[in-house]
Amino acid sequence: MKSYAFSLWLALTFLAACFFGVSCPACGQSLTSGGVTGTVTDPSGAAFPNATVTLKNNDTGAAASVTSNDTGAYRFALLNPGSYTVSVAAPGFSVVHQNVSVAVGQSSTVNVKLEVAASATTVEVTAQGGVLQTDNGNVSSTISPEIVENMPNPGNDLSYYVQTAPGATMNTQGGYGNSATYGISATSNLFTVDGMNENDPFLNLNNSGATNLLLGANDVQTATVVNNGYSGEYGTLAAANVNYVTKSGTNKFHGNAEYFWNGSVLNANDWFLNNSGSPRSFDNANQWAASIGGPW
């Protein structure tokens, strides 16, 4: 009876994830988090059970440990995006450390092969490639904090990042969103901030003012644009699922201040104005932003 009850709970969880966009515990990630999975093997390549696997957040120092199961597999779920270190230890084997990046809505795979320990030997693997989703058909583009900070983005428009994803085209027709993906209307894009919908409930566009800009780029730590999102944590709208995760504190105090200015002197004249012999139009835009965080 308990088995049937658990199966029913799991099925309802998946249905809720598909229809309402909530997080799915069995998936290991959500609209605001990611996961780390992998397999531990011995020098011959056989599965290694009962190895201690520790995951440390390099920004906050927080750590958690699990034990590999009978097939050598382990999993860390619902992690904040950022940089982590996976450490694997077992009696008689060298400790292995490997860096891994966790992105929103994705599960990073870190497979570890143990080596027989010499005297005080530690094996450290530092290379880390891009996160590749191999267990579903999601096409995901992750915009890291460095890209968010340094990408030329006049206006600090959050919806600007959608245009960097594969299949996205800029939409110049007013009232129908900023970009379309793989030919699907921009009214089918879903914007979320920390897991909460940021869409206009009437027009189904990004929630914005008269400028149709979603402001607040300096508030964002990372952004993920997911196309073809049919895994459990998506399923609300058919086009791009654009997920923003806001900045959070670390073990050190940090912050920034930004000021952007754009004026007529920096802009070329419009082609139509040039053609009619008219001067370029007046433009004067001032934007500023600041943030601070720390171990509070």
Domain ranges (residues) in the chain: 25-125, 139-246, 254-293
Distance CA(206)–CA(288), nearest Å, equals 22
Q: Does 149 or 171 have the greater pLDDT score?
A: 149
pLDDT at position 125: 63
Rounded to two decimals, what is the model's pTM?
0.64
Q: Which residue has the tokens 């929630």?
A: 207
pLDDT at position 266: 86
119: pLDDT confidence band, cut at 50, 70 and 90? Answer: low
5: pLDDT confidence band, cut at 50, 70 and 90? Answer: very low
What letter represents residue 93's amino acid?
F
Residue 140's nearest CA partner among 224, 209, 222 is: 224
pLDDT at position 150: 81
Beta strands 190-193; 122-125: pairing state:
unpaired
Q: Which residue has the tokens 């600090």?
A: 156
pLDDT in tens, 177-235: 778 888 888 888 888 888 888 887 777 777 765 565 677 788 888 888 888 766 666 66
pLDDT in tens, 19-50: 333 444 444 556 788 899 999 999 999 999 99
User: What's the CATH class of domain 25-125?
Assistant: mainly beta
In this predicted structure, the answer to whether residue 14 has a pLDDT above a threshold of 50 is: no
95: pLDDT confidence band, cut at 50, 70 and 90? Answer: very high
Beta strands 196-197; 190-193: pairing state:
antiparallel
Least confident stretch, 3-12, 205-214, 274-283:
3-12
pLDDT at position 172: 60
Q: Which residue has the tokens 């027709």?
A: 173
Region 139-246: CATH code = 2.170.130.10
Q: Which residue has the tokens 């879903």?
A: 190
Written as one string, the DSSP assignment of the chain is: -HHHHHHHHHHHHHHHHHHH---BTTTTB-SS-EEEEEEEE-TTS-B-TT-EEEEEETTT--EEEEE--TTSEEEEEEEPSEEEEEEEE-TTB-EEEEEEEE-TT-EEE--EE--B--TT-EEEE---------SS--EEEEE-HHHHHHS--TT-BGGGGGGGSTTEEE--STTS-SEEETTB-GGG-EEEETTEE-B-TTT-SBS--TT---B-GGGEEEEEEEES--STT--S-SS-EEEEEE----SS-EEEEEEEEEEGGGSPPPHHHHHHTPPPPP-EEEEEEEEEE---
pLDDT at position 98: 94
Report the DSSP beta bridge partners of residue 36: 76, 108
